[in-house]
Amino acid sequence: MSEPDPGAPPGWSLAWSDEFDGPAGSPVDPAVWRPEVGGHGWGNQELQYYTDGTGNAALDGAGNLAIVVRRTDPRLRDRRFGGCSYSSARLITKDRVAFRYGLVQARIRLPAGRGIWPAFWMLGQDIDEVGWPGCGEIDVMENFGKDPTLVHGTVHGPGYAGPGGVTAALDAKVRLADDFHLYAVAWEPARIRWYLDDQLYSTLTPDDLGGNPWVFDHPFYLLLNVAVGGSFSEPPGPSTTFPQTMLVDHVRVHTRPAASG
């Protein structure tokens, strides 16, 4: 468990955080997070059903949020899980907490296994008005279980969405599921930088978008989820065991004084 405020990085001030403190089994703070529910594939032919229950997302009592992927009971799949073989959780801060620019960090211990797809990311708060990808998407962290040491950072927008997203990856040289790591983006006007454990591994500017629009200068909200399978991943392999758990120690957003508007 982390200290409540270890001090902001140089040049940044802590603007908001969720430390996930509370009794084991408690739901996340409903003033901050809300679950998205359903098993329709989520645009990527994913295999999980996202629930709103504490069996898939709850505090662990040790200062972490636990998002747990489970096999569903075959007797209940059609009635309770839309026919999906797996259950998981997808938590968002839409209409509750949103930011324009900042150093956005999460300390996470990833789940493991082929077909397991954890992510920490952001979407434009205006998604209901302009749709995706016009709202913009910033993926702070994605990991695909088939590559247990690889972290991906990506953006999606008009002209660079889906398979055309602008992406970079870093090989951490260690299994990311074996320990907690700090995943972050420094998001500023006309520049986004990706970090793993304070190591910079990618920088994006409008010049990198091939003339397509930069759609990252308005408020975004946060998302945490673990998907299973899908068009960017693969079905779980025979060696993948369940349940699988993503532990989130904290999510923090730091801002610079000039970027607080």
**What's the CATH code of the domain at 237?**
2.60.120.200
Average pLDDT value for residue range 252-261: 73
Mean pLDDT, range 233-259, rounded to an integer: 91
Tell me if residue 142 is catalytic: yes
What is the average pLDDT score of the chain? 95
* Residue 7, pLDDT score: 59
Quote the tokens at residue 252. Answer: 């923090």
Task: Note the pLDDT of residue 1.
Answer: 37
57-66, 69-78, 229-238: least confident range:
229-238
Confirm whether 212 is domain-assigned: yes
Task: Exactly one of 3, 19, 129, 142 is catalytic; name it.
Answer: 142
Task: Report residue 245 CA to chain centroid gap.
Answer: 14
- Euclidean distance between CA atoms 185 and 39, whole angstroms: 29
Mean pLDDT of 147-157: 98
Domain assignment of residue 17, given as a range: 13-259
DSSP state of 207: G
Q: Is 21 exposed, middle or buried (0-12, 13-18, 19+ CB in 10 A)?
A: middle
Residue 23 lies in a domain: yes
Residue 3 resides in a domain:
no
| φ/ψ bin of 133: left (φ > 0), alpha (ψ from -120 to 50), beta (otherwise) | alpha
Q: Is residue 5 part of a domain?
A: no
Given a contact cutoff of 8 angstroms between Cβ atoms, the answer to whether 109 and 224 are in contact is: no
Beta-sheet pairing, 181-188 with 191-196: antiparallel
Round to the nearest angstrom and report the end-to-end CA distance of the chain: 31
- How far from chain centre, in Å, is Cα 159? 22
How many domains, in total, are found in the chain? 1
CB atoms within 10 A of CB 44: 14
The number of beta carbons lying within 10 Å of the beta carbon of residue 12 is: 19
- Asked if residue 1 belongs to a domain, the reply is no
Q: What is the pLDDT of residues 107-126, one digit of tens each?
A: 999 999 999 999 999 999 99
Tokens of 46: 């994913």
One-letter amino acid of 209: L
Residue whose entry in the numeric block shows the structure tokens 């299973």 = 228
Amino acid type, 127: I
Say what the pLDDT of residue 257 is. Answer: 73
Q: Single out the catalytic residue among 129, 137, 188, 234.
A: 137
Active-site annotation holds for 3: no
In a domain, 6, yes or no: no
241: buried, middle or exposed (CB in 10 Å: 19+, 13-18, 0-12)?
exposed
DSSP secondary-structure letter at 260? -
Mean pLDDT value of segment 152-165: 98
On whether residue 38 sits in a domain, the answer given is: yes
Q: Tell me, what's the pLDDT at 8?
A: 74
pTM: 0.95
* For residue 259, pLDDT beyond 60: no
**54 domain-assigned:** yes
